[in-house]
Amino acid sequence: MICNAIQKLIEYALAKALITTDDVMVVRNALMNVLGVDNWEEPTEAYQGEAVDELLEALLRFAVENGILEDTANNRDLFDTKLMGILTPMPREIIAAFRAHYNTDRRDATEWYYQISKDLNYVRAGRIAKDLKWTYDCEYGTLDITINCSKPEKDPRDIAAAGKQKAVAYPKCQLCVENAGFAGHATHPARQNLRPIPIRVADGDWMLQYSPYGYYNEHCIIFNAAHIPMAIDDAVFDKLFDILDFLPHYFVGSNADLPIVGGSILSHEHFQGGNYTFAMTNAPVEHAFTIPAFPNVQAGLLKWPMSVVRVTSKDREQLAACCQTVLRAWRGYSDEAAHIYAFTGDTPHNTITPIARMRDGQYECDLVLRNNITTEERPMGLFHPNPSLHHIKKENIGLIEVMGLAVLPSRLATEIGELETAMLTGAAFDTPSLKTHEEWARGVLAAHPEFCADNARAILEQEIGKVFKEVLEDAGVFKRDEEGKAAFLRFAQSL
């Protein structure tokens, strides 16, 4: 009975404090209207602590069976978000509650906001739980490996609908403030359950929200309220430090601002952050050095597969100026012996991926040196994963990977199982997906004569972790051999 399913969702909302008893009648009528239910029958079942995905599934099934909804992945997401939007408090209520928590304890404020984002199903916790995760220990620390299984696969009917969707420019992108409460359509996700928190950064209006498909605890996005493009410039460091002053228990970082080494949304200025410790956070300084113009700043080169300058100081103003100096120096730095060229013609190639955090009462900034030059042999980038690794990771290396968390494509979730079977049975690598892994898989078997059903998955996971380590080493502009270390030191000394 549909009234049971509606009542359970209402009781869920009451249990999560999304609504009060005063709201029940209005919420019930709104849900009935969306679902085309004309008559209310007293429920015979009560909410028993089911996950929100399970509660929504009953309503989605009813909508499909009654012709309200065509059963495609995108349509289901649009519809279940519409249902959750009915339960979502108004922005003023979420903002007031966040500020009340913040005035007591900043950590409590973000924990509350993250939890309610999950309760509202904006953060799709049920789907995130489907991601495959493990760790890989290496000389650089413990790397995190994730295979992204949370985002739904594209349905051919959704693709067809997207092709027919009238082109619109509202919202301009998925990070614009106009997304809050937006109903969505074939080419833009629904956001009726999104309630960003306004904050001030660099004397401007910015917003804080969580990623609906986060890769780590409290994976947040802090974005400019204005739709302006990403830029790694002198101003970026004070923006990062403003965010740390507001949320000192978070790290915050930015993707680079050039293609290949940059993020997926370069058209809208934003940062990513959260409450998580990555392997790079724990990476030790391998070579300490001083920058004479900044006596209050401690500087060092990290022991990390990518090329990282770490600078630390209690003096925020001097640290920001130091970061600006490193950025300017790197923008124009070339070293032919290390195959680093700042420009080809008028095209710039050097930029940085900056990551900031507080540590022991000091501001700390990791400046990851990036270069996006391409060659005939490496058209995807000289400092991009080399082709022999593309069967595992072909995509750009962004902020999250830079810090030591692999975000691997969803195809691997299926391909690992197929590989495991083929390697155990001796079957031919005769499917297109297996063929791409064949050379690597045979190398794994040669390196692990103990490979058997009891350890196959564990060995494959560790070998994939090793590939990710090599991916990061490829993305490093100064290589980890003695020649590369000497070249990195030359840059440091130039500062």
Q: Please tell me the predicted confidence (pLDDT) of residue 165.
A: 52
DSSP string computed for 396-454: ---HHHHTTEEEE-THHHHHHHHHHHHHHHT----SHHHHHHHHHHHHHHHH-TT--TT
Using CB atoms within 10 A of its CB, is residue 138 exposed (0-12), middle (13-18) or buried (19+)? middle
Q: Please tell me the predicted confidence (pLDDT) of residue 155.
A: 45
Where the chain has pLDDT below 50, the residues are 155-156, 158-164
Q: Please tell me the predicted confidence (pLDDT) of residue 78.
A: 96
Q: Please tell me the predicted confidence (pLDDT) of residue 162.
A: 45
Spatial contact of 318 and 297, defined as CB atoms under 8 Å apart: yes
Q: Please tell me the predicted confidence (pLDDT) of residue 166.
A: 60
Tens of pLDDT, residues 72-94: 999 999 999 999 999 999 999 99
Q: Please tell me the predicted confidence (pLDDT) of residue 371.
A: 95
> How many CB atoms sit inside 10 A of residue 163's CB?
9
Q: Please tell me the predicted confidence (pLDDT) of residue 263.
A: 67
Euclidean distance between CA atoms 122 and 124, whole angstroms: 6
Tens of pLDDT, residues 199-225: 999 999 999 999 999 999 999 999 999
